[in-house]
Amino acid sequence: MTTSDSLHVLGISGSLRRASYNTALLRAAAELMPPGMTLEIFDLAPLPLFNQDAEKPFPEAVVELRTRLAQADALLIATPEYNSSISGALKNAIDWASRPPKQPLAGKPVAIMGVSTGNFGTVRAQLHLRQVLTHVGALPLGKPEVLVARAEQAFDAEGRLVDAAARGFLQDLLAALARWTQRVSPA
Ligand code: FNR
């Protein structure tokens, strides 16, 4: 549940790399947030690998993830593309979040974006991510798609998104996420 002037978004990068372009894309999103929308970036690095034997109780980092997900009005996921799919780190986080008794991803509005060094800007990873998110009952936003290809040209040496078109698409995505969240979880 949210109100039109306070929308808390949890940002997740599927890359653990220190100089990750996907994490940099989340930082660009934080800069471009429309008024009334806030972004908190959650780090997936402390999560252990999913193990069904380690669910009772959930490890501390998993409790933290599940709590943050539950508290967020919406999610913004920046996914890298690894071998035409999402990263193991991102799938691992979704697997932890999907487990009973409560499923914090169910009914959660989600915007997807991604950046790759290749020519296709994570399109294949994003399709897989949509499939997985739909399975766990999350509500991925359809459009606009933010697919940033050839990362070295889109970002400067300090990791700032400098591609004007990509910045515009990202702004459109954030505005669409605000509308989508109002629509699927009205105040
Ligand atoms: C890649 N990369 C990659 N790129 C792509 O466009 N399609 C792909 O299928 C793959 N596959 C792939 C597998 C693995 C294991 C790695 C490490 C990399 C390149 C990828 O786009 C590049 O490393 C990005 O910089 C990863 O995102 P971050 O870490 O910068 O956020």
Could you tell me the distance, in angstroms and rounded to a whole number, from the CA of residue 172 to the centre of ligand 1? 25
Rg of the chain's alpha carbons, rounded to an integer? 16
User: Ligand 1 pocket by C-beta < 6 Å: which residues?
Assistant: 15, 17, 20-22, 80-84, 116-118, 120, 151
Mutate to test the pocket of ligand 1, among 117, 124, 155 (most ligand atoms within 8 A of CB): 117
Question: Which structure tokens are listed for 155?
Answer: 């970002």
Task: Decide: pTM greater than 0.85.
Answer: yes
CA distance 45 to 77: 15
For the CA of 120, the closest atom of ligand 1 is 6
pLDDT band at 5 (very low <50, low <70, confident <90, very high): low
Catalogue all structural domains in the chain, each as residue range(s) with its CATH number: 7-184 (3.40.50.360)
Largest CA distance in the chain: 47
CA distance 44 to 93: 7
CA distances from 167 to 29, 121, 162, 184 (A): 8, 14, 7, 26
Q: Is the CB of residue 102 less than 8 Å from the CB of residue 72? A: no
Q: Which residue's CA is the nearest one to ligand 1's atom 27?
A: 80
Question: Which structure tokens are listed for 116?
Answer: 């790759």
Instruction: Note the pLDDT of residue 4.
Output: 47
Instruction: Note the pLDDT of residue 2.
Output: 46
Instruction: Note the pLDDT of residue 82.
Output: 98
Q: Across residues 21-32, what is the average pLDDT? A: 98
Q: Is the CB of residue 115 less than 8 Å from the CB of residue 78? A: yes
Q: Across residues 97-118, what is the average pLDDT? A: 97
Could you tell me the distance, in angstroms and rounded to a whole number, from the CA of residue 81 to the centre of ligand 1? 5
For the CA of 121, the closest atom of ligand 1 is 6
Q: What's the pLDDT tens digit per position in 147-184?
A: 999 999 999 999 999 999 999 999 999 999 999 999 99
CA distance 127 to 104: 21
Q: What's the pLDDT tens digit per position in 49-107?
A: 999 999 999 999 999 999 999 999 999 999 999 999 999 999 999 999 999 999 999 99
Q: Which residue's CA is the nearest one to ligand 1's atom 12?
A: 82
Q: Which residue's CA is the nearest one to ligand 1's atom 7?
A: 81
